[in-house]
């Protein structure tokens, strides 16, 4: 059998195993390998093969005819050293692909079929094209509520699960789409100060200007090993960390890597994604925040109610007690959009600063109150008052400072971007609407969240009176190119609609 020498190729292929073969390699012709074929890669120790999508190259500087190149991800997964000899074969198509074809045809799938699909995906037997076929099939054909349950169960079963060894483990999740809205960093210390267990594994931004992990990272280390998180939890009753270190519902990471570029936004997939991660993270009680508004993910009350019923159905059968809250998503929550600006808002609220954004403070207290009522010792309707007491007494701030210290305080916090531009009102009137999507876009263009100090600082909210020339918001950026992109976008559409005394202006 012809063998090839391994070569590591410094390419980030994001959640996809990719191998590189030179066109002049004898195996390319004798074995009929083609670009985008899947291959099995075997070492000499008899271990299970690694499966990868094949790319064909013509440049010997990338890979020589007697070599097989592996992207960074595949090389780490294979666990061998560069230069070792390997052999390759055509990969057998995953058996579960027949179920994908059935779903595309509009049929319902069984629990076993979803489990087999998730097993094959996590084992890298699916290419991104095949994962896309599965996601499109589920989005177009739709999922019955039992199918959402089966998919959720399969996503949990094919990853690791955490056990915090307590009967009451709380969490919260917002379905997203609202810039700012950094309630988690206020709710978590309130809950922990009360003594309830809240291990908060949070995400980094994918398409938003900041995720909770991006914002918390301004204050503390969020990339922590599991044993460290256990230690913090024992002493502090909570942490706010990035959830990427634990392999929780890993199939979901594959799904996200494909659905985001395709702009697929399936409600069924979203429910399975959220609940599988929470169950795998060891949660027993979960608060779901569904904001509704014209530029939010959910635009109507009827859609929100439908989602609530589905969350409750699947959660109940997964042993998860769920409380769904429908909130106002007509505009960004808080003033800051971007990590440094959001940290400012959070700390102002925890410090009971009179300048703190009232909407973010009130929403955080409402959510914290609902979570506190998971505690059987807290009477229904008393949670909000208790949350206010914990915040106003300074106990929430003390707890947040303790969590920051336990996770490893960032002694050199990021600063606001040095470049700034203030967008002003084109005419006088009342702010009638703020476009969440456009404000998020401007903040992303400014460099958030990669540049922690980039983003948008809002000066006016819906209902505020403005005069021509009044500042609506300020854009902050660190890099000239990002600054110009954000400024140009705000010039074309500043995201505000102002109702003047004479006419309605879109302010674009």
Kindly give, in sequence order, each residue whose CB lies less than 8 Å from that of residue 440, ignoring residues fewer than 6 positions away: 179, 208, 209, 337
345 closest CA partner among 327, 358, 326? 358
Tell me the pLDDT tens digit for each residue of 59-111.
Answer: 999 999 999 999 988 888 888 889 999 999 999 889 999 999 999 999 999 99
Assess contact for 193 and 368: CB atoms under 8 A: no
Tell me the pLDDT tens digit for each residue of 187-201.
Answer: 999 999 999 999 999
Kindly give, in sequence order, each residue whose CB lies less than 8 Å from that of residue 76, ignoring residues fewer than 6 positions away: none
**DSSP collapsed to 3 states, 268-279:** HHHHHHHHHHHH
Which residues belong to the active site?
Answer: 265
pLDDT score of 508 more than 60: no
Tell me the pLDDT tens digit for each residue of 266-321.
Answer: 899 999 999 999 999 999 999 999 999 999 999 999 999 999 999 999 999 999 99
Q: What tokens were used for 4?
A: 């090839």
Helix (H) or strand (E) holding 151: helix 145-157
Tell me the pLDDT tens digit for each residue of 152-172.
Answer: 999 999 999 999 999 999 999
Q: What's phi and psi for 288, nearest 5 deg?
A: -105, 130
Q: What tokens were used for 331?
A: 């505009």
Q: What tokens were used for 343?
A: 């940290």
- Rounded to whole angstroms, the Cα distance separating 174 from 186 reads 14
Strands (E), 340-488: 419-424, 429-434, 455-458, 465-466, 471-477
- Rounded to whole angstroms, the Cα distance separating 385 from 53 reads 56
* Mean predicted lDDT score pLDDT of the chain: 93
Kindly give, in sequence order, each residue whose CB lies less than 8 Å from that of residue 69, ignoring residues fewer than 6 positions away: 7, 8, 9, 19, 20, 21, 57, 62, 63
Tell me the pLDDT tens digit for each residue of 333-343.
Answer: 999 999 999 99
Residues linked to residue 87 through DSSP beta bridges, in sequence order: 42
- Rounded to whole angstroms, the Cα distance separating 73 from 253 reads 14
**Direct distance between the N- and C-terminal alpha carbons of the chain, in angstroms, rounded to an integer:** 66
Dihedral angle over CA of 445, 448, 450, 453, nearest 10: 120
Task: Say if residue 449 is preceded by a cis peptide, omega within 30 of 0.
Answer: yes
pLDDT score of 358 more than 50: yes
Task: Please state the rounded mean pLDDT for residues 477-499.
Answer: 97
338-348 burial: b if 16+ Cβ within 10 Å, else e: bbbbbbbbbbb
Q: DSSP secondary structure string, 209-262?
A: S--HHHHHTTTB-----HHHHHHHHHHHSEEEEEGGGS-BSHHHHHHHHHHHHH
- Rounded to whole angstroms, the Cα distance separating 91 from 3 reads 17
pLDDT score of 492 more than 90: yes
Three-class secondary structure of residue 19 per DSSP:
strand
Query: For residue 435, what pLDDT band results from cuts at 50, 70 and 90?
Result: very high
Q: Is the pTM of this model over 0.75?
A: yes
- Rounded to whole angstroms, the Cα distance separating 361 from 388 reads 10
Position 15 scores a pLDDT of 80
pLDDT score of 2 more than 80: no
Kindly give, in sequence order, each residue whose CB lies less than 8 Å from that of residue 81, ignoring residues fewer than 6 positions away: 6
Three-class secondary structure of residue 42 per DSSP:
strand
Q: DSSP secondary structure string, 344-385?
A: HHHHHHHTT-TTS-HHHHHHHHHHHHHHHTTSTTSPTT-HHH
Q: Which of 40-54, 435-449, 464-478 has the lowest mean pLDDT?
A: 40-54
Position 60 scores a pLDDT of 94
Position 502 scores a pLDDT of 65
Three-class secondary structure of residue 401 per DSSP:
helix
- Rounded to whole angstroms, the Cα distance separating 51 from 41 reads 6
Tell me the pLDDT tens digit for each residue of 227-260.
Answer: 999 999 999 999 999 887 678 899 998 998 888 7
Q: How many residues does the chain have?
A: 508
Q: How many CB atoms lie within 10 A of CB 492?
A: 9
- Rounded to whole angstroms, the Cα distance separating 147 from 142 reads 9
pLDDT score of 459 more than 50: yes
Position 504 scores a pLDDT of 46
Assess contact for 193 and 199: CB atoms under 8 A: no
């Amino acid at each position: 059998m012809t063998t090839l020498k391994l070569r590591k190729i410094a390419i980030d292929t994001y959640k996809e195993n990719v191998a590189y073969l030179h066109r002049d390699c004898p195996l390319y012709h004798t074995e009929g390998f083609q670009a985008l074929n899947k291959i099995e890669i075997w070492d000499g120790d008899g271990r299970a093969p690694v499966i990868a999508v094949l790319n064909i190259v013509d440049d010997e500087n990338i890979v020589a005819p007697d070599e097989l190149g592996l992207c960074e991800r595949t090389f780490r997964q294979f666990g061998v050293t560069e230069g070792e000899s390997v052999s390759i074969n055509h990969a057998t198509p995953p058996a579960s692909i027949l179920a994908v074809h059935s779903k595309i045809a509009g049929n319902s799938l069984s629990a076993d079929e979803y489990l087999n699909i998730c097993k094959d995906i996590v084992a890298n037997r699916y290419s991104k094209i095949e994962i896309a076929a599965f996601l499109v099939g589920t989005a177009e054909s739709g999922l019955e509520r039992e199918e959402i349950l089966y998919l959720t169960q399969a996503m949990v079963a094919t990853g690791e699960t955490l056990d915090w060894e307590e009967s009451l483990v709380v969490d919260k999740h917002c379905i997203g789409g609202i810039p700012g809205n950094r309630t988690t960093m206020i709710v978590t210390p309130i809950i922990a100060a009360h003594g309830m267990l809240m291990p908060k594994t949070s995400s980094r931004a994918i398409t938003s200007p900041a995720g909770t992990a991006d914002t918390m990272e301004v204050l503390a280390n969020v990339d922590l090993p599991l044993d460290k998180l256990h230690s913090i939890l024992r002493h502090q009753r909570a942490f706010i960390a990035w959830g990427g270190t634990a392999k929780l519902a890993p199939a979901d990471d594959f799904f996200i890597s494909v659905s985001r570029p395709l702009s697929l936004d399936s409600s069924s997939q979203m429910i399975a994604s959220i609940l599988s991660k929470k169950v795998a993270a060891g949660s027993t009680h979960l608060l779901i925040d569904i904001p509704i508004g014209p530029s939010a993910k959910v635009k109507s009350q009827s859609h929100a109610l439908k989602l609530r019923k589905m969350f409750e159905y699947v959660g109940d059968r997964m042993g998860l007690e769920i409380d769904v809250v429908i909130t106002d998503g007509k505009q960004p929550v808080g003033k800051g959009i971007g990590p440094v600006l959001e940290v400012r808002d959070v700390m102002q609220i925890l410090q009971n600063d009179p300048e703190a954004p009232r909407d973010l403070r009130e929403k955080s207290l409402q959510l914290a109150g609902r979570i506190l009522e998971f505690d059987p010792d807290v009477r229904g309707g008393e949670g909000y008052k208790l949350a206010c007491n914990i915040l106003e007494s300074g106990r929430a701030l003390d707890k947040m400072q303790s969590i920051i210290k336990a996770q490893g305080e960032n002694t050199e916090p990021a600063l606001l971007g040095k470049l700034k531009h203030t967008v002003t009102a084109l005419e006088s009137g009342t702010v009638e609407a703020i476009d969440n999507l456009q404000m998020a876009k401007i903040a992303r263009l400014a460099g958030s969240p990669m540049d922690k100090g980039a983003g948008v600082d809002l000066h006016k909210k819906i209902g505020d009176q403005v005069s021509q020339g009044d500042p609506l918001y300020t854009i902050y950026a660190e890099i000239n190119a990002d600054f110009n992109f954000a400024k140009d976008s705000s010039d074309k559409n500043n995201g505000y609609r102002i109702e003047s005394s004479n006419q309605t202006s879109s302010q674009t």
